[in-house]
Amino acid sequence: MQLNFAGKHKVFIQNIQYSIESNSCFVNILRLDEIHPLISGNKFFKLQLHILAAINTQYSTIATFGGAYSNHIIATACYCHQLGFKSVGIIRGEEPAQKSNTLLQAEAFGMQLIYVSRELFKEKDKVIRSFKDENYYWVNEGGYSRLGAEGAADICSWIDGSYTDIVCAVGTGTMMAGLIIEAKPHQKVTGISVLKGNEKLIESVTDLLTDEEKKKHFELMDGYHFGGYAKHPEALLDWMNLFYHQSKVPTDLVYTAKLCYAVNDLLQKGYFAPNSKIMIIHSGGLQGNNSLPAGRLVF
Ligand SMILES: *Cc1c(COP(=O)(O)O)cnc(C)c1O
């Protein structure tokens, strides 16, 4: 069974010229979005060790959680389909009259979707217990766990010691924890939160780290959520178009647009030391833009 079907050959590193004068920093972006259109960017990395564990423990079904627009759900469905696993998605909220693209595609990959109320969705243990007779390998929402983070740590194999800074978007914090695990001692990992006012988020990151890893350099930035998770005011969409014109990098409205915008802003504010070499992680997620009217984005 070939786990690493994505290969590493399609991923590439691209230079970005932010139009900021007197800035001596050098910025590259790691195009993990190129791995696969649906098993997008970081989801592949966060899932890989879970899937390996499921194989090693003889499970044939992966079950996980997510919302109707979850990149994690679609990635799990597609990845399992490719590997011949069955998959079950526990979806937050009632079954919608009009299913999102994400749910339709997940179903097309054979994922069994089970809708649970928003209240019950919060009680994951209870949900898991209700399926105790099934032989499911459970993966947390967003792949959140030490195993998910260790899988994400592989992303650092593209980031050599010449980089001083690594910057990523943060949802559950799994990817950020993975980057911290593998970052070199002189490197700083900066996470851009896409959530509004989640004070516990930094704890979610540090809970996945050992005491030694907690001493490494990292910082979580608030204030780039544009109104909250998945909120996308016109100004953000306009900026995505502008950024694409300048850099030819497509971004998604939930994560990477806010990430790339934040790097621009942090450069202007002098957040990075002079002559820093910065790697932005393009973690994928582009299929999320399908919820926009056709033509709103130029890419
Ligand atoms: C899921 C996702 C993230 C967030 O990753 P976490 O490990 O949950 O913090 C970032 N970017 C994209 C494109 C994603 O789909």
- Write the pLDDT tens digit of every residue in 154-206: 999 999 999 999 999 999 999 999 999 999 999 999 999 999 988 999 999 99
**pLDDT at 45 (0 to 100):** 94
Determine contact, residues 74/202, Cβ cutoff 8 Å. no
130 and 171 co-located in one domain: no
Give the confidence band of 20 by pLDDT, cuts at 50, 70, 90: low
Considering the chain, what is the average pLDDT of its residues? 93
Q: Is 256 in the pocket of ligand 1 (CB under 6 A)?
A: yes
Nearest to 189 by CA among 218, 152, 160: 218
Q: What is the mean predicted confidence (pLDDT) over 83-92?
A: 96
286 and 163 co-located in one domain: yes
Domain-ending residue, one of 94, 115, 143? 143
Using CB atoms within 10 Å of the CB of residue 256, give its burial: 0 to 12 exposed, 13 to 18 middle, 19+ buried.
buried
209 and 230 co-located in one domain: yes
CATH assignment of the domain containing 113? 3.40.50.1100
73 and 204 co-located in one domain: no
Q: What is the mean predicted confidence (pLDDT) over 67-82?
A: 94
Q: What is the mean predicted confidence (pLDDT) over 76-83?
A: 94
Residue type, 124: K
Q: Is the pLDDT of residue 119 over 70?
A: yes
26 and 164 co-located in one domain: yes
**pLDDT at 192 (0 to 100):** 98
21 and 163 co-located in one domain: yes
Nearest to 76 by CA among 60, 90, 67, 87: 87
Report the distance separating Cα 40 and Cα 37, nearest Å: 6
Say how many domains are in the chain: 2
Domain-ending residue, one of 111, 143, 175? 143
110 and 57 co-located in one domain: yes
167 and 287 co-located in one domain: yes
Domain-ending residue, one of 114, 143, 172? 143
Give the confidence band of 5 by pLDDT, cuts at 50, 70, 90: very low
Q: Is 171 in the pocket of ligand 1 (CB under 6 A)?
A: yes
Residue 175 Cα, ligand 1 centroid: separation in angstroms? 7
Q: Is 142 in the pocket of ligand 1 (CB under 6 A)?
A: yes
Give the confidence band of 291 by pLDDT, cuts at 50, 70, 90: confident
132 and 227 co-located in one domain: no
How much of the chain, in percent, has pLDDT values that exceed 70? 95
Token pair, residue 25, equals 């920093």
28 and 93 co-located in one domain: no
Q: What is the mean predicted confidence (pLDDT) over 42-47?
A: 94
Report the distance separating Cα 166 and Cα 4, nearest Å: 24
User: Which phi-psi region, left, alpha or beta, contains residue 110 (left: φ > 0; alpha: ψ -120 to 50)?
Assistant: left
Q: Is residue 173 part of a domain?
A: yes
Q: Whose CA is nearest to atom 14 of ligand 1?
A: 285
88 and 209 co-located in one domain: no
49 and 88 co-located in one domain: yes
- Write the pLDDT tens digit of every residue in 235-277: 999 999 999 999 999 999 999 999 999 999 999 999 999 999 9
Nearest to 245 by CA among 12, 19, 22, 30: 19
| pTM exceeds 0.85, yes or no | yes
Scan for tokens 């799994």, then name that residue: 174
Q: Is residue 299 part of a domain?
A: no
Token pair, residue 230, equals 């998945």
- The atom of ligand 1 lying closest to the CA of 148 is 7
**pLDDT at 2 (0 to 100):** 40
Report the distance separating Cα 167 and Cα 282, nearest Å: 9
Where in the sequence is the domain holding 99, given as residue range(s)? 42-143
